[in-house]
Structure formats: C-alpha cells, structure tokens
Amino acid sequence: MIKRALLLRKLRASALKKRKRIRIRQTLERFHVIATNLNNIPRDTTGWTANLTRGGVTTTANFDDFGVARFPTINTLTTVSYVLRIRNADGDLLATRSVPADLEVFVARF
C-alpha cells in the first residue's frame, strides 16, 4: 500500500513537470484597415473602399458595415510602406494616410 502511494505521488509530480504553458500568439495573416472617427468609434462604411498604393501598384478592398477592410493579397507583417486612400460609396476621397511597414492593422481616424 505504501509503495502504491509513493508510485502515485511520483506519477503526479512527473505529470505536473511535463505540463508547460503554451504561449498563444495571435496574428492576422492579411492586412486590415479600420476606419474610425476621432473618438475611435467605427464608422458606418457601407459601400466604402480602401486603396493601398505602392509605386504604381494599387490594391483595393471593400469595407464591411463595421468599418473594417481586409486586403486578401497583402500578407502581414507588411514589409513596405503604402499610401492609403479611403473613398465613400459615391467615390469621394475622405482620407489619405501614409501606412508604415511592419503592421498587421492600420486604424484610420478621421
């Protein structure tokens, strides 16, 4: 009986040693733009578009209703800087921003 108790104690101790904390790293795989007002409240962006320009290449993404545009062709972390242009549903230019490199998300406040 004593041997069994010692054996169980050793098994529990070894199980506790093997259990390590796994660090969860959450990253976005694609580049996102979030449109907010100056109070950081997401804008109603139905029909809006975002354009990212680098050199002569422009990539366009549509905003959802919650102020988020996802660029499916731009991996993160970005390696180059971009020029961001946000247009409303009528095509009017609302904001132009410079987006630096090494980002997953850019918050455009205007």
pLDDT at res. 90: 97
Q: What would the pLDDT profile of 39-96 be if each residue is shown by its tens digit?
A: 999 999 999 999 999 999 999 999 999 999 999 999 998 999 999 999 999 999 999 9
Beta strands 105-109 and 30-36, pairing class: parallel
Domains delineated in the chain: 29-109 (2.60.40.10)
79 contacts: CB under 8 Å, gap ≥ 6: 101, 102
pTM listed for this prediction: 0.75
12-23: buried (b, 16+ CB within 10 Å) or exposed (e) per residue?
Answer: eeeeeeeeeeee
Cα–Cα dist 22/31, whole Å = 26
Contact between 50 and 58 (Cβ < 8 Å): no
pLDDT at res. 28: 85
Q: What would the pLDDT profile of 22-35 be if each residue is shown by its tens digit?
A: 776 667 899 999 99
Would you say residue 17 has pLDDT above 60?
no
